[in-house]
Amino acid sequence: MDMIFKLAIPIIMQIIEKLLSPENIIKYGDRLFDFIEDAVVSSETTIDDITVLPLVKALRNALSIPDND
């Protein structure tokens, strides 16, 4: 059993490394932020517009994820 783990761990780490590449983080981070922004804008309340949209903008800036709409 230990042998299987010793073989599996490097393979799993390679997969995680590819999934967490800077390109993927930017690509999927942009999609996530776009989804959040669309949900906030389409809601009837204005409180979330005032609170959530600036937070998303700040997170985009902090994580260097451009808004590629």
Q: What is the pLDDT of residues 32-56, one digit of tens each?
A: 999 999 999 999 999 989 999 999 9
Sequence letter at residue 4: I
Closest alpha carbon to 50 in 59, 41, 42: 41
The Cα–Cα gap between 32 and 37 comes to 9
Distance CA 62, CA 51 (A): 17
* Amino acid 4: pLDDT: 84
Q: Say yes or no to pLDDT of 69 above 70.
A: yes
Looking at residue 9, its pLDDT comes to: 87
Element housing 60 (H / E): helix 47-63
1 pLDDT more than 90:
no
Q: Could you tell me the pTM of the whole model?
A: 0.73
User: Where do the domains of the chain lie?
Assistant: 22-69
More confident: 31 or 16: 31
CA 29, 35, 38, 43 dihedral sign is negative
